[in-house]
Each structure stands twice: as C-alpha cells, then as structure tokens.
Structure 1
Amino acid sequence: MTAISLTHLVANSIEAWGHVRPLVTFCARLVKMKTDLYVTLLTTTVMFERLIREAGRSFDEGDESSQRLRIVCVGPSADMVGDGLIGPMWKALAAEEDLICQQTGISCNALPAPTVAIIDLFALENTGVVRAFSGSSVKIYSWWPGLTYYGLYEFGDVHVGGLGNIRVRAEQESRQSGRPYHDVVKEIFFTKSGNLVRLPSLPPMYDYEIHPQDFDIPDEAIVKFFPKVNEVVAMTDGVILISFQSWEKEAIQATRDWMTETGRAVYTVGPLLPTASKRKAVANEKIQSPESACIQAFLDETLARSGGYSLLYISFGTIFFPSKTSEKLWAFLDVVMELDIPFLMSRASPRCVVPEEVKEKVKAYGKGLISAWIPQQMVLDHPATGWYVSHGGHNGLTEAIVSAVPLIMWPFVGDQPVNAVLVTDVHKVGYELLREVRSGSGLRKIFRTGYTPIGTIEAVKDEARDVLRRAFGEDGKEKRTRLQALQQAALGDWDEGGASRRDVTAFLASL
C-alpha cells in the first residue's frame, strides 16, 4: 500500500467494562487531539455494541475525528480475558491489510502498520503476541485501569513495595514443598498474616485489610494472569495510568520513579469522562439502559418531593456484590427506609439476587427503586442525588468526584479498599462502612481504629444509622464542600497546563 503520513495506534482491553470503558474514552481523546492519528480498538463480541455507543458519548454531531477511531470485534471470547484473540488481527494490521470485523462482517480499510499498542495489564498473551510478532518496532504501553496504589502493591517490584514476580516465587515454592502451584499462588495473594502494609502517604493497614470482604475471585484469574502481570509489565515500554494527580500524587510519583529505573515512561491520563456535549453524552448513556426513562422520572419526582441532595444512590458496579453476606445489604436498606431516605439501587452485577421480601418492602416504601442497569453519570449529575454508596471501583469513584457526589464506601478487593482510605482518611470526602459490613478476614482488628468488628446484623444497622445520619447532616455538608474543591482540582488536571493534559500531550508527541 502507498505510504500515508499518519500514525496508527492499536488498543486492547480484557472483557471488563471498568477496564474498556475508560480505554475507549481515552482513544477518543487521542484522535481529537492529534489530527493525523488513527486508533484501532480491538474488542470482543460481548463489548462491541456497548463500546460503539460509549464512543458516541465523546463525539458531537459532525465531529470528523470520530472516523479515525475504529472499533473492531475480534470475535467471541471463552473468558473475560480473551487472550490471544488479537493474533490474526494483529498480523493483518502489521501486514497493512484490511480487517474484517467479526461482529458486523464489515471490512475496515488497510492502514499503515501500527507503531504503538496500548494493552490491558491483564491481557498477558495479547501483549506477548504483539511483542513476539513485531519485536521492538512497536512500543507497547501497559494500560492500568484502576488505582495506581493497587498496581504498585499487587504487581510492582519488591523494592517498590510490590509482590514482585509471583510466578517465579510460586513455582520455586511449589517445587520445594511439593504443594500445587495453584495453592501457593492463592496463599501469596490471599493468606495474610497481619503484617503492616505501608504505602506512600497512606495510613498503615494490616495486609488482610486489603481484602476486607469474603469475595470469590475466579481461580482462572488467580492462576492464569495474576502471577504473571509483573513480568509482562516488565516487557512493555511504559505504563498509562487512568488515575489522576490530584487523587494520588504520591503513588503516581512512586510509579514514575520505578519506571525511570529502566528508562520507561509513565503517563497519567485521568479523570477520563466523555468529551461530547452534555446533551449527547447523556443521550448515549441513556440508550444503554431500557429503564432510563423510569429512572429519570424517579429522580425528578424525588427532587420535587424531597429536595436537592436527598437521594442515596447505591451501586457495586457490574461485577461486585456482597453475595455471601447479602443479608447485610438488605439490613442496610432497612435502615435507609427507617430514616426516610429516598434511594436508587443498581443490581447490574450477575451476583445480585433481590429477594421477593425485599422487593415488597421497597414497593410499599414508595421512595426506592432497584434497577438492572442505571445510567450512572446521569444519576450522579442529577440535583436530587446526595450520596453514593460505592464499592470503590476507580471508574465510579472518578465519576462521583467529577460530579461532586460524596461517597459512602463498601469495598471488597483490588483497588477498592485503598480508594476507601483515600476517600475517608486522606481527602476526607466521605465515609467508609468500616466495621460491620466486612466479612471473612476483614472481621479481624482494624489498624486505623483498633476496633474488631462484630459483624452481626444489629451491628450493621447501628453503623448504618450512624453513618447515614452524619452524611445527611452537618458533617456531610462539610465533606461535600471539601469534595467540590477536589472536583475542581480533578477537572483542572485536564485543563491547559494540567498534569493529565501535559502527560497526554507528551505521549502524543512521542508517537
């Protein structure tokens, strides 16, 4: 094909909305900022249609830069990782051949071979495919779709406070002890002895507090990719962090220091939210929920009946849910209704099963709504919304900060417990249900308070009453005011001269 003076970047994420949603938003920003850049986002069948709609939230009518973002389906995945599926597509891209979208059957015109790839840190085989096929001719950046602190702790080198190369450690221990590799890996990740974890500028925590809920992570994740993330990140040319300077400055700097040791780059790109007009962004979000009209009406009715900041929004995202202790959530809802607080709850997680008894209570209450899929940014931007009960996933937390909706944290695993500490102890913009909703090893002594949770239903209700009364009282107003200042700082990270704007400009200049 005839050489064209343009740059071609390829992006890929695992099959998880919290990973791929910010990635498509970032890709949209890139093509809007660099007029000679084409981006091909490779995704799986499950995510394809949703990503098409989500991408539309970043482009207004007539924005021709949208034509330089191509979302191409590689086909169905047998698991949420989809590893290795990009192989045939990558070979076609490298050979400057047309691509056939496996969802639509439409042929995508050939482009110059890609010179840059952004690949999810958990998409291990896909990273290997690109490196093995294209060698050093393609720069690979690891996409970190969550809190930077978490990436450092779980997947960083030992000398920066991380767990290091878990695969090598587990294989050595397995050979020496005769124990199965799978068991050794689970022990490294989840069997905690009560050692103190000290992360930059955070209060110390016991290691078991990093997993305060008894939540099953699929064995496939534990064995297939968790142990190998550290060494795969080591083969990349740098990392792209979806977090932002005003949220976790110290962790970002620690990551820069770590990568600088090997001459690799770190780019911070958050907060990542759609860039189209509010009307277009909201419209494209609404069409992703068949219940959006009902939810909009419920929000408007709540505002008229109960006033601004009166509604409690509850969501544990698309994966997490307190399924092993769901009775604690229903007890929490009892207190919400007892205190006459209007609420809207998402049940998007497949783990969420609402008992008939709870449905009847909510119906009789008349000020609550439980929905399968909620247009979250629409809810957070609505003047009726006062507080957000969240598991602490980084995308939902980012949306809450940008909408200045303070948080009540109910974390499980991953980056969520550290986000809860940032919310409560560092930025002081919310509360954590710190004691009684914990389960499993989380019911052990809490370092920050010295308290050992009881975990009974009555204890859950007592804590819920205390937190909710403070949230909807004067203390909550102070936290909202503090969050509004943080909101402006976060938005400022993308203003001219802001930290994320500078980093993304530097990234584009390096292409």
Structure 2
Amino acid sequence: MTVIKPSHFVVVPTAMWGHLRPLLHLSLNLLTLHPNLHLTLLVTPSVLPRVEHELKSTSFAHIYTKSPSGSGTSTPNPNVHHTTAQEQAQEDKAIADRLQVITCISPEFDMPKEWSPEVIAQEGMDYAKTLPKFLQALASKEHKLDGTENKFEDIAPNFVVYDSFLHFVPEVVRGVLTGLQKPMIPLIAFIPSNAAATWHTFAKEENGGTFTLAQRLIDEDIANGMDVLEAHGKHAFGTYGKVKTIPGLPPKFDYEWWPNFATVPMPPQAFMGIIPSAKAIRDPAVSGIVCPTTAETEPLAVEALEKEMGFRIYMAGPQFPDAAWAGEHPEPQAQNADDANVFAFLDKMKKKHGAKSVIYVSLGSLFFPVTRPELIRYILQSLKESGFPFIFAYASQMASLPEDLQKELNDDEDSCVVKFAPQWDVVNHEATGYFLSHCGSNSTAEAMLAELPMVSMPFAADQGEFTAMLSEVYKVSIDLKQVKTFKSPDFNKLYDGTVVVGTEEAIKAELKQTWDTLRGPEGEAMRARMRDLKAVIKKSWADGRSKKDMLALGTCFE
C-alpha cells in the first residue's frame, strides 16, 4: 500500500500587498495541487486582516470545502493519481485543515490604532527580530507558538518559501536549524516578477545586474566618506546613459527601464532594505527561485536566468484560484462605499456606452507621480475631453487628488474617482474594455486573464520590463512616452529615436492619439492579440511549464 507522507512548508512574506497577495495565491494553489502539503503562513499584524479577507472571498471558497455543490461530497483532484482509499481520503480533506496563519510579532510591539508607513517600518523590524523564535517553535514541533496553537506540531517544516526582499531569511533559518542540530532544509526565494526583470535585478554586475552594480558603487562611496543614506539614495535605480539589453527584450538606454522613478520620492532606507537580497539569493541554502509568470512568454529570459543563477527557476505562472482560470466571475459584493460606487458606475456605463467601453486607470498601491501631479491631471482631462468613460483609483499612500480636479470630475457622469477599487471585479466587468496601468506584476496578470488591451505608464522596479514585453514584443499595450521623467535632464531621447518633449501640449497630443487608437481597428487587434497571449498562459497552467513547475515545487524537498 502506498502511503503519502505529510509535508509542511513555511511561507515568510513581506508586508507589501503586491508581493504578499501572489505569494498567498501560490501557497493556496500548492495546497490544492498537493494533498499531502501543509502550510504555515507567518504574517505581520498590519496585513492579517487583508489575508483573512482574501481567504474568505468567494474566489477561495474551495479552501473550506472541496464540494462545489454543498452536498458534502468532494471532487477528486484530477492532477493526482489515487491508488488507495487512504490517498483519496487525504485529497478529500478540506484545504483549510492544512493551512494555518500565524501572526509573527513580539509581545512588546505596541499595536497602533492606525497603520502609518513609520509604524509599518517598525513592525518590519520587529518581525525580523521575532521570526527566529517562531521558526524554532515550528522546527521543534512545539504545541504552542507564543500562545497560538500549532496545528502541525507532528510535522516539522520540509522547506521554506520566502520573499526575496527579506534577505535575512537564509541566515535566520540556518541559525535556527544549526542551534537545533537539524539539517538545513531547502529555501525557495519568491520574486513576484517575470524572468527578464529578475535577471536584470539579480545577475552579476559583469552580466548586467543592477543590484550588484549598485552595491559596489555604494560601498565605494561609503569607503570614501559619503553618508550611508546619501550613498543609497544616489545609486537607487541609478542610470548612466548606457545601452542595456535584457534577454528577450529590445535594447534600450538604462534609464528607459525605470522611466518615471524620478517622480517618486522613495526614501533611501527603502533601497537599503532590499539591495542585500542580491547577495542573499546566492546563499548556498537557496535552491531555487519561483516567479509567478509564464515561461512560454519569455523563453530567452528564462534560459538566461537559469544559466545565471545555476539552480532551478520555477516559472509557476500567474497565480489565480481555480474559478478564475475557468472563467467564472461570481457576482461582485460591495465591501464599502467605494465598491458600491464603482459597481453602480460600471452598470450605468454599460447601458449608456455598451460593453468594453470603460477604461480603468490605476497605477497600483505604491507608485504615484508625486513630483509631477500634473501628469494625472493631463490623463484624466484628456479622457474626459475624448468622451472616454473611465474609473480612476489612486490607491497609493503617496497619492492625492487636487480639489479642483476632484470637483471637475465629480460633475462628469462618465467619470468615477475612488481611492480603492476592487480591481479583479473591475477588469472582469462587461463594461470594462481597457486598462491604463503602471504594469506591475499583479495588474499585468489580471489584464491578461481579462483580455484587456493596455496603456502603459511604468515607474520603476520590474514595470519597464513588463511594459517592453507587452508593448514591443506582443503588441498588446501602448507605452506612453511623453510622460516619461528621467533622473537626469540630459536623458531625453529614447533608443528608438523618440525625443521626450514632456510638455502639456506634447503629452495631450500623445494621449489623444492613444484614445483614438484604442477605439479604432488597432484597438480590436490588440484585444485579439491579448486573447492569444492569454491562451498561451492558460495552456501553460493546464499542461505546460507552469503546471510542471507547480508540481515540482511541491516536492522540492524530496
């Protein structure tokens, strides 16, 4: 008789929702695919409510029961071959029984009434300090974890999946297991990005890696007497006017990969916290990287990344629940006044303008053109003048909307402005036809699955790489060029010869041309190409590289 041995993995996420959400979805999908897996998710208090809300959403109803009809009988996982009744029983077990979410924080941490960036930074330091105690309790199979019951006290962790920006995790895990006289377990670094951007970030300096170059320059400046913060601020997303070619993408000047970072007042402390990850990811205990993107869409970048890192790259594909892959979209439920406003607006626009008429504008929850707020004014006014109905969500904590512009848009029935929008519901509404985005990983994946042509306004991080792939390789997006704002005023020419004038007149002319293109034959051609791209991604998830790597990831410790 074949007996499936239970296994247990620990997820160590960062508190940034754009990173945590796809990692959470990855973890749940692994539980669905591997009935022997058990998961402990160690989170901070600030993100716990969002995690709990996500777990209870209609999209993840399957984590509480495998019975879609409520009849009490479960549906076997078609991806697992059952040879015994015991194996079938293991699959039938509700996924929630194999999941525990534990708040990892010290008793000394003073819980705030409201979460500010400063308090979240303190929380992050406390999390790093407290993490060893929780990992030790899990590895020792203790019954209690600082007062919280350990559901899996009989199963020691087999592997750890951690956010790559938490560079201290390899050292912490090694220290805990060494102290317990236990062998090291595999560590898998999670990077919520594509292979091209991961290569660009983590390659060695001589191969074009940005973090390793920045670290060397920072170290040199500090050795020459420069203040630590000043050195990090100087070289954060540094650009030098050199041509940079990333595998699978067209050549560009280095400043084009971070085209609007100059509009974001990012403190140097943020860069200090992430740049050591370039060294930590090459720790001997790290045996792989998992990216929630599709290998078949960027084969050259995947090949280059595997060669560069020398270990396995798990190209797991975009992480969505089963219902999303099946094309199911449950009736959206408003959680607050903003949600209700958005849903009512979309229903109204469908009646007034028809299906696929609305453009959704969102630059994510982090980035915003703070030093050039007029860019937002130009975009929204241009949409209004064009008669293009739109939703604008300005979720970033740095974002604000001038009162006069807010009033102007409030008086326009074809405009809807909210702080937060339920993005998955918005992009899948019948009225939504297009998406103006910063092209972060999550937004890009959601646009692909919703088959929405895009307009790109990238800032930094991996957004330039996603934009190049979407606009120049697959031609499913239009990249806005006149809004680009580089750190040096000397950089005003793109590799393709375009001169960035950047005036109101030049920006609005480009915007008008963009709206006209979306409404014309090319807009429909973009939609058809996005539909083809989605088919590639979906096939990979069903029986391609994504499926293969998800299966392998769940057994990486064997």
Q: Please give the alpha-carbon distance, in whole angstroms, between the structure 1 residues aligned to 2:268 and 2:215.
A: 18
Q: Which amino acid aligns with 1:120?
A: D
377, 394, 399: which one aligns with 1:330: 377
Q: What is the match of residue 499 of structure 1?
A: 545
What's the secondary structure of 1:238's corresponding residue? strand
| Change over 3 Å in CA distance of 1:168–1:424 after alignment to 2 | closer
**Contact kept in structure 2, 1:173 and 1:184, CA below 8 Å:** no
Aligned-residue Cα RMSD (Å) equals 2.5
> TM-score, normalised to structure 1's length?
0.91
Q: What is the match of residue 370 of structure 1?
A: 417
| Change over 3 Å in CA distance of 1:9–1:307 after alignment to 2 | same
Q: Please give the alpha-carbon distance, in whole angstroms, between the structure 2 residues aligned to 1:444 and 1:285.
A: 45
Q: Please give the alpha-carbon distance, in whole angstroms, between the structure 2 residues aligned to 1:249 and 1:293.
A: 42
**Contact kept in structure 2, 1:84 and 1:125, CA below 8 Å:** no
User: Which runs of 5 or more structure 2 residues have no equivalent in the other structure?
Assistant: 67-93, 110-119
**Contact kept in structure 1, 2:493 and 2:499, CA below 8 Å:** yes
Q: What is the match of residue 399 of structure 1?
A: 446
| Change over 3 Å in CA distance of 1:216–1:470 after alignment to 2 | same
Say whether 1:217 aligns with 2:266.
Answer: yes
Deviation at 1:72, TM superposition (A): 1.3
Per-residue deviation, residues 382-423 of structure 1 (Å, max 9, x unmatched): 111111010111111011001101110011001011111111
Deviation at 1:224, TM superposition (A): 2.9
**Contact kept in structure 1, 2:11 and 2:39, CA below 8 Å:** yes
Deviation at 1:486, TM superposition (A): 0.3
**Contact kept in structure 2, 1:315 and 1:345, CA below 8 Å:** yes
Higher mean alpha-carbon deviation, 412-421 vs 80-89, is at 80-89
Deviation at 1:376, TM superposition (A): 0.8
Q: Please give the alpha-carbon distance, in whole angstroms, between the structure 2 residues aligned to 1:282 and 1:221.
A: 37
**Contact kept in structure 2, 1:122 and 1:229, CA below 8 Å:** yes
**Contact kept in structure 1, 2:390 and 2:414, CA below 8 Å:** yes
Q: Please give the alpha-carbon distance, in whole angstroms, between the structure 1 residues aligned to 2:31 and 2:336.
A: 27
Q: Which amino acid aligns with 2:65?
A: G
Q: What is the match of residue 247 of structure 2?
A: 200
Matches within 5 A, 1:301-380: 301-380=348-427
| Change over 3 Å in CA distance of 1:172–1:338 after alignment to 2 | closer
Q: What is the match of residue 30 of structure 1?
A: 30
Deviation at 1:62, TM superposition (A): 1.9
81, 87, 90: which one aligns with 2:135: 90
Deviation at 1:110, TM superposition (A): 2.0
Say whether 1:444 aligns with 2:491.
Answer: yes
Q: What is the match of residue 65 of structure 2?
A: 62
Deviation at 1:196, TM superposition (A): 0.5
What's the secondary structure of 2:435's corresponding residue? strand
Matched residue count: 501
| Change over 3 Å in CA distance of 1:80–1:171 after alignment to 2 | same
| Change over 3 Å in CA distance of 1:273–1:360 after alignment to 2 | same
| Change over 3 Å in CA distance of 1:401–1:363 after alignment to 2 | same
Q: Please give the alpha-carbon distance, in whole angstroms, between the structure 2 residues aligned to 1:372 and 1:220.
A: 26
Deviation at 1:159, TM superposition (A): 4.5
Q: What is the match of residue 230 of structure 1?
A: 278
| Change over 3 Å in CA distance of 1:62–1:224 after alignment to 2 | closer
Q: What is the match of residue 306 of structure 2?
A: 256
| Change over 3 Å in CA distance of 1:287–1:240 after alignment to 2 | farther
Deviation at 1:313, TM superposition (A): 0.2
Q: Please give the alpha-carbon distance, in whole angstroms, between the structure 1 residues aligned to 2:141 and 2:546.
A: 32
Deviation at 1:106, TM superposition (A): 6.1
Deviation at 1:170, TM superposition (A): 4.3
Deviation at 1:183, TM superposition (A): 3.5
| Change over 3 Å in CA distance of 1:443–1:425 after alignment to 2 | farther
Q: Which amino acid aligns with 2:103?
A: C
Higher mean alpha-carbon deviation, 154-163 vs 429-438, is at 154-163
Per-residue deviation, residues 341-363 of structure 1 (Å, max 9, x unmatched): 11011121111111111121112
Q: What is the match of residue 15 of structure 2?
A: 15
What's the secondary structure of 1:510's corresponding residue? coil
Q: Which amino acid aligns with 1:73?
A: T
Deviation at 1:176, TM superposition (A): 4.9
